[in-house]
Amino acid sequence: MSKEKVQGILFTDLDGTFKRNSLFINILAGLVEQGLLPKLVMTEVERAKRDWQSLQGTFEEYDRLAIDFYEENIVGIPYRYYKTVVRRVVEAQQFNVYRFMKKMIQYKQLQGWKTYLVSASPQPAVEHFAELWGMTGGFGTPQSVDDKTGRISGIGEVVNADAKKIIVERVLHDLDEQRIVVPEANIWACGDTKGDIAMLESVTNPICVNPDDTLSTEAEHRGWRTVSERKDVITETKNGNYMKYAIDVSGKIKVITMKTTFKSVLD
């Protein structure tokens, strides 16, 4: 049996990489608004957010508090109501994304690439976000549901650093089992924090999008490409070379400046 060929495959984190902010926090707020989680949850999370924004706390503390409240209060919620809220939140947040990532994902899809979301956000949210953007699939953190009551009974394995790497390896293994060939040079991944390092190092072309301090240091050490988007200006950097350009609302690229013959991933 002959092998089928796919032009390439792109894995990307969601919160902070493709989406401009945390979809998980949006979902938490939506569940509180609909009365599925207590208001105290959001009050404490908003306090931690203010502490982070005023430099009195860290983003990690803010994020950890949100996750803890979610995990402590999610059990017992009727899953059908939960899923309805999640879908509404995703649809409201669908276009709150970075221009660079939007352009790259759409460009790769036109080239015949498979594109996947890999995120610690809830599975139904990640799946629906991927669906709305015409992506091949999405992998998120699952919820277990009691068959008798239809209520959430627990949270499955969180799609963290190691789990993201395992997902990439599993997808590539499954494609190989289906005799689908992916050019090694065209296996890419995008992430924004240290939690994405395991996924990034498992592909041929890692791209660090608006990386945190740890990932930025790692990228410089390993010679990985970094992408920084501020307002409508995007800067790609790799091994001391760079390109700075803008992407307008129509998706047209205007080069501002570059050092040496730098090739953008959007070329």
Tens-digit pLDDT profile for residues 192-211: 999 999 999 999 999 999 99
Q: Residue 163's domain is classified under what CATH number?
A: 3.40.50.1000
* pLDDT attached to residue 44: 84
- Asked if residue 64 is part of any domain, the answer here is no
Are 182 and 2 in contact by the 8 Å Cβ rule? The answer is no
* pLDDT attached to residue 1: 52
Whole-number average pLDDT of the chain: 92
Are 64 and 5 in contact by the 8 Å Cβ rule? The answer is no
Q: Is the whole-model pTM more than 0.75? A: yes
* pLDDT attached to residue 86: 97
- Asked if residue 28 is part of any domain, the answer here is no
Are 219 and 226 in contact by the 8 Å Cβ rule? The answer is yes
- Asked if residue 27 is part of any domain, the answer here is no
- Asked if residue 81 is part of any domain, the answer here is no
* pLDDT attached to residue 267: 77
* pLDDT attached to residue 250: 83
Q: For residue 171, what are the CA distances in angstroms to 12, 100, 122, 138? A: 13, 25, 19, 11
Number of domains in the chain: 1
- Asked if residue 51 is part of any domain, the answer here is no
Handedness of CA 131, 133, 136, 137 (dihedral sign): negative
- Asked if residue 228 is part of any domain, the answer here is yes
* pLDDT attached to residue 2: 56
Q: Where are the alpha helices (DSSP H) in the chain?
A: 23-33, 39-53, 59-73, 79-93, 99-110, 123-132, 161-177, 197-200, 213-222
Residues of the chain with confidence (pLDDT) below 50: none
Domain that holds residue 157: 4-20+96-259
